[in-house]
Amino acid sequence: DAGVIQSPRHEVTEMGQEVTLRCKPISGHNSLFWYRQTMMRGLELLIYFNNNVPIDDSGMPEDRFSAKMPNASFSTLKIQPSEPRDSAVYFCASSPGLDEQYFGPGTRLTVT
Amino acid sequence: DAKTTQPTSMDCAEGRAANLPCNHSTISGNEYVYWYRQIHSQGPQYIIHGLKNNETNEMASLIITEDRKSSTLILPHATLRDTAVYYCIVRVAHQAGTALIFGKGTTLSVSS
């Protein structure tokens, strides 16, 4: 199994632009999580889905952030418009719904 | 979820055992202790988890005190590749896709 796949691995964009991060979870996993990591705030949960349904989005910073999971094998995290303070590493993780979460390699986002 | 307290950093000589402590004095009866680690520039990686009995797998051993208020992760023969941030997390297991709440963790530095 290829593990959790995230794309792009690096993204550099200008303030105000739309950014879309993508995640392909491990096949058969029914839970998907989006985390954000910065030096100041560490690892923070943004949102998670069970069986493609958003369960808890209380960690989404503001309305500029949105996430979708149209099917069991794909999810997106969109930021529109992006701001410099959104610069961070964004991780996607999936879980078979029991104990372990498997993290992807992350997307490093830089907003200038 | 209960909060945890971990030392900020620890050092260990290569080949020696690394013992990483974690305090979770407010843990509830149905909460498990999980350990993850994050090697630089990678996503977090699951290590081990337990409820009240000691656990061992190919990566590490987990020792939980009888009152469950603290635990120790043991890497029996640390290598340079074990240099990472180690996170101790407590949460209820077996709930459909519950999220992980990461603290600041312990930065373990293994040197030759």
Is there a contact between A9 and A91 (Cβ–Cβ < 8 Å)? no
* Nearest residue in A to B32, CA atom: A99
CB pair distance less than 8 Å for A102 and B46? yes
- List per-block mean pLDDT (blocks of 10 residues) for chain B, which spans 112 residues: 88 97 93 94 93 94 96 97 96 69 94 94
Chain B residues whose CB is inside 8 A of the A98 CB are 93-94
CA distance A82 to A16: 5
Residues of chain A with pLDDT under 70: 1, 98
Q: Any chain A CB within 8 A of the CB of B8?
A: no
Strands across the sheet with B45-50, in order?
Answer: B9-13, B106-111, B84-92, B31-38, B45-50
Of the candidates B45, B94, B97, the beta carbon closest to that of A31 is on B97
Chain B residues whose CB is inside 8 A of the A95 CB are 97
Look at residue A37 in the predicted model and tell me its pLDDT.
96
* Nearest residue in A to B102, CA atom: A43
Look at residue B101 in the predicted model and tell me its pLDDT.
85
Look at residue B97 in the predicted model and tell me its pLDDT.
58
* Nearest residue in A to B42, CA atom: A105
* Nearest residue in B to A5, CA atom: B43
CB pair distance less than 8 Å for B93 and A98? yes
Chain A residues whose CB is inside 8 A of the B94 CB are 98-99
Residue B22's nearest CA partner among B59, B45, B58, B47 is B47
CB pair distance less than 8 Å for B46 and A48? no
First-residue to last-residue Cα distance in chain A: 36
Give per-residue pLDDT as tens, A54-76: 988 888 988 999 999 999 999 99
